[in-house]
Amino acid sequence: LGAWIASGVDHIWSGRDHVSFVLMLLLVAVLVRAGGAWTTRAPLATLRHTAAIVTAFTLAHSLSLIAASLGWIRLPSRLVESLIAFSILYTAIENILRPDVRWRFAQTFAFGLVHGLGFASVLEELLPPDHVIGPLLGFNLGVELGQLVIVAIALPLAWLLAHQLGATRYRRQIMPAVSAVIGLLAVKWLIERVFGLTLGSFWGM
């Protein structure tokens, strides 16, 4: 079981698209808009809000990962990978233009279903045909543990930036800059996956 957990951790850490999507979610989690002005959420409120968003993503990709691994869902890998890139691009644009979306929880759940299918396509190549449940649970647990480490590192950094720079400056400078960089990477990934091209690498991405 330990090897499958390690495999799940390694996949989420090496999956630049999945990490990018989680970062897009965390960027806006530290802010709240009250009375027309942006403020930094209190630490506990940030944790509660982040927990809700991450839970939506976790529940969704766990459901689709299990369903796809058991053969209940079948989608072309190219389509799934293209939709994953689209989810990152859409969220990045939303962070730049309108980050205080009311439907972020439902949106995260929907995109999480797509990311789970991406996890399943990797796991499908590794699963032994006669022993699925144990490796599936171990891999999924590893993905969750790896995701928690990403959140544990990135969320405090985002909160400290918003707190030190001020929520308004963070919203107008940091969020658009980071979202734009990741959004451009998502455009590259989307073009490559839709058209089957290789556009070269940018810092290995």
Mean pLDDT of 82-99: 95
Mean pLDDT of 116-129: 86
pLDDT tens figures, 159-202? 999 999 999 999 999 999 999 999 999 999 999 999 988 887 65
Is there a domain that residue 203 lies in? Answer: no
Is there a domain that residue 204 lies in? Answer: no
How many Å apart are CA 149 and CA 18, to the nearest integer?
13
| Cβ 112 vs Cβ 91: under 8 Å | no
| Cβ 22 vs Cβ 153: under 8 Å | no
pLDDT tens figures, 134-154? 889 999 999 999 999 999 999
Domain span including residue 132: 2-31+41-195
Mean pLDDT of 53-67: 95
Number of structural domains in the chain = 1
What local confidence, expressed as pLDDT, does residue 205 receive? 56
Is there a domain that residue 205 lies in? Answer: no
Whether 63 has a pLDDT exceeding 90, the answer reads yes
Is there a domain that residue 126 lies in? Answer: yes
Is there a domain that residue 53 lies in? Answer: yes
Whether 73 has a pLDDT exceeding 80, the answer reads yes
How many Å apart are CA 119 and CA 115, to the nearest integer?
6
Is there a domain that residue 97 lies in? Answer: yes
How many Å apart are CA 2 and CA 154, to the nearest integer?
26
What local confidence, expressed as pLDDT, does residue 119 receive? 92
What local confidence, expressed as pLDDT, does residue 203 receive? 47
Is there a domain that residue 134 lies in? Answer: yes
pLDDT bin (cut points 50, 70, 90) of residue 22 is very high
Is there a domain that residue 12 lies in? Answer: yes
